[in-house]
Structure 1
Amino acid sequence: MSEANSKGMETRRAVLGDAHVDRAEAAKTDFDAPFQTMITDAAWGNVWSGDHWTKRERSMVTLALLAALGHYEEFEMHVRATARTGATMEDIREALMHVGIYAGVPHANHAFKIAKKVLAEMKDS
């Protein structure tokens, strides 16, 4: 395991949680294993493990980008991750306000709908 992969797996688990990562690792096949390694090395081992921004700041930027691009399944996963990154409900709201202005109200509106559902589920659990 490379240093980037080791650090990436540590960061990935810290942000997404062991249960999520364990499920993803169990679902990995020979077909997508190289892709999963690339994501762990590049996204988690380099970008998310950088020391310039906090995990909270990275979380807010990630949420805004996923919502703006309409990647709502990943958006939902990263809303759940805010429990581990320190991003608050207010942080999520502000990120989505930016999405509404810079990427369009329909994207922000749908992301708000998802965030409200996920935040309510998180509160109830």
Structure 2
Amino acid sequence: MAANETVSERHLLGIETRRKVLGDAHVDRAEMASTDFDRPFQDLITEAAWGAVWSRPNWTKRERSIVTIALLAALGHDEEVAMHVRATVNTGATREDITEALLHVAIYAGVPAANRAIRTAKQVFDALDAKEVA
């Protein structure tokens, strides 16, 4: 936010929702890495994506998570797929949900897009499983 702007209710709701979905550690890292250059972008996604869309009451966080993973996979955004697969720990989307979403990606957006996303999800699951064992 610019120095002369006040924080809107939607922005505050966005921060709360972003923390619920991605976790405090992720959001804290993003805020610490933010600079004057990208702070306006961080403010935009906090208010628009997290405050205006993810905070809507019509779908559950699980449903939004599934759709988001499918869309990101279809677009080939591997880092974002990984981030949102990690977030399923907080949203309640299951591995079976992700499998079903990626099957849809294969049919509607192409096998290569789904294959990349499956590879990415497997890497995330391997890392999550390793943490559980440790």
Q: Under TM normalisation by the shorter chain, which class is it?
A: over 0.9
* AA of the residue aligned to 2:124: V
Q: Equivalences for 1:38-53 in 2 at 5 Å?
A: 38-53=44-59
Partner in structure 1 of residue 19 of structure 2: 13
Q: Deviations over 1:54-86 (max 9, x none)?
A: 000000000000000000001000000000000
Equivalent in 46, 54, 66 of residue 60 of structure 2: 54
CA–CA distance in structure 2, aligned partners of residues 42 and 8 of structure 1? 8
Residue 3 of structure 1, CA deviation: 0.4
Gaps of 5+ in 2: 1-6
Q: Which has the larger radius of gyration?
A: 2
Q: Does 1:86 align with 2:104?
A: no
Residue correspondences, number: 125
How many Å apart are 1:32 and its aligned residue? 1.2
The sequence identity of aligned pairs, in percent, is 67
Which letter does structure 2 place at the counterpart of 1:12?
Answer: R
Instruction: Give RMSD over aligned pairs.
Output: 0.6
Partners of 2:96 and 2:15 in 1: CA distance: 28
In structure 1, what is the Cα distance between the partners aligned to 2:46 and 2:20?
A: 13
Q: How far apart, in 1, do the equivalents of 2:60 and 2:116 lie?
A: 26
Using the TM superposition, give the Cα deviation of residue 120 of structure 1 relative to its aligned residue in structure 2, in angstroms. 1.8
TM-score by length of 1: 0.98
